[in-house]
Chain A
């Protein structure tokens, strides 16, 4: 386990160096999307439409932030549960997506797709939403404003604290962690 400073967009070289359990400070542009936005993104890809942001090397953060107060860059913005995006994620990885940020484990299919397409999954601490907001320097809605909290936002983050859960070698921090601390009754 090591601590790594990462800056987006991510490339295969940066990603291959990551291992499950690593602590990462992520900086640069990332995009927010959750259930409703994923449905639209995947429909766009399937219909050959143009996406609202470039997927190549991109990182998607599964979050629907609380609305910002006047003068506030970002209100509380912790991760949402990732499995709900599992059905959409492999297609996005095939189109260049490199990283996803959420909480909770991913499906076998997503994990396999991360190995095949060289992608990683990061965990942010769920419920630590006020603290996470402090690493967001800029935020703007770039698509699907009608979805309210589920709109796609471009965020500029500075040293956002994350843990690598799934690396490109197929490791899974959930499985490793639970195996270590499980006890028989």
Chain B
């Protein structure tokens, strides 16, 4: 057993909160540059240029890319040969979020009671933590701050076998169409198919983490992704929804087996500030 003090987890989460909110992954920046080169709408090009310039300002001034520094979504892969010491793992994650959002001057966007009082918790906790136990003796932390505007455009639908792949495609295109300019396009579209009501939503979120430009390992779904990207871009929504050929930077699909009666499908929408980062400790 490898012993690991959870203080290390706190430190890693703190750093990830700050880094991911200031620096976008290279694949996302490249996708936005490529979109600028191809965009037909003059207004769309102007907006994409403002978005790209904003990345430079954020890095230079060490300011968050977006004022919505997100709900703190944390994926933990805990090696089964790790013995965590020094406190509770989830407390350590939340302490990392507390420190990261304070030290980084990031916005605190969580309310305690979601419907009655809606009082801000003032430290951006609690984090939304998804933990898996995996082989090995390391802990892998993926941090993906998620803005509210794009999350609000996401949806789960319990479809059936009769709906088939055409039903899935139409649902995805319809969901993007109804979202319009709300989720800060150009967006990344995460699609989860299979599992159960909650599992497909997780898959859709995990699909957002795949680097843009990396093909789907399944050739059949890779073709579906390319077709869906073409179809959502043909909607004409464009950058910020003000018209153009770049509505989405990518469509990513993940699938798992499901019950004979079901075909759960989730669409998780991600804004152009597709922020995520990871550390292995």
Contact = CB atoms under 8 A, between A and B. Distances in A.
Interface of A: 21, 36, 63-69, 75-78, 80-81, 83, 103-105, 123, 125-131, 133-134, 147-150, 161, 163, 165, 173-174, 176-185
B26 to A, nearest CB: 17
Interface string B44-61: 100100110110011001
A130 B243 contact: no
B241 A149 contact: no
B254 interface: no
A163 B64 contact: no
A123 B242 contact: yes
28 contacts: A63-B67, A66-B67, A75-B63, A80-B148, A103-B181, A103-B182, A104-B180, A105-B181, A123-B240, A125-B54, A127-B51, A127-B65, A127-B66, A127-B271, A127-B272, A129-B58, A129-B66, A134-B57, A148-B122, A149-B67, A174-B241, A174-B242, A177-B43, A179-B243, A180-B236, A180-B243, A181-B44, A185-B230
Given A76-B58, A149-B107, A129 B181 contact: no
Interface residues of B, number: 51
Nearest to A173: B242
B230 to A, nearest CB: 8
Contacts of A126: 66, 149, 184, 240, 271
A150 B109 CA distance: 9
B231 interface: yes
B160 interface: no
A80 B68 contact: yes
A80 B68 CA distance: 8
Interface string B230-262: 110011111011111100000000000000000
| A-B CB proximity, top 5 nearest | A177-B243, A182-B236, A181-B236, A104-B182, A126-B184
A105 B67 contact: no
Given A104-B149, A123-B181, A128-B53, 4 more contacts: A129-B67, A173-B242, A177-B243, A185-B234
B34 interface: no
A66 B240 contact: no
A53 B108 CA distance: 25
Contacts of A83: 182
Contacts of B234: 182-185
B31 to A, nearest CB: 14
A124 to B, nearest CB: 9
A67 B63 CA distance: 10
Contacts of A185: 230-231, 234
Contact of B105 (A68, A104, A123, A181): A68
Given A148-B122, A178-B235, A131 B243 contact: no
Counting chain B CB atoms within 10 Å of each CB, which of A63, A75, A81, A173 scores highest?
Answer: A81
Interface string B211-239: 00000000000000000001100111110
B241 A104 contact: yes
B243 to A, nearest CB: 2
Contacts of B235: 178, 182
A154 to B, nearest CB: 17
A183 B232 CA distance: 10
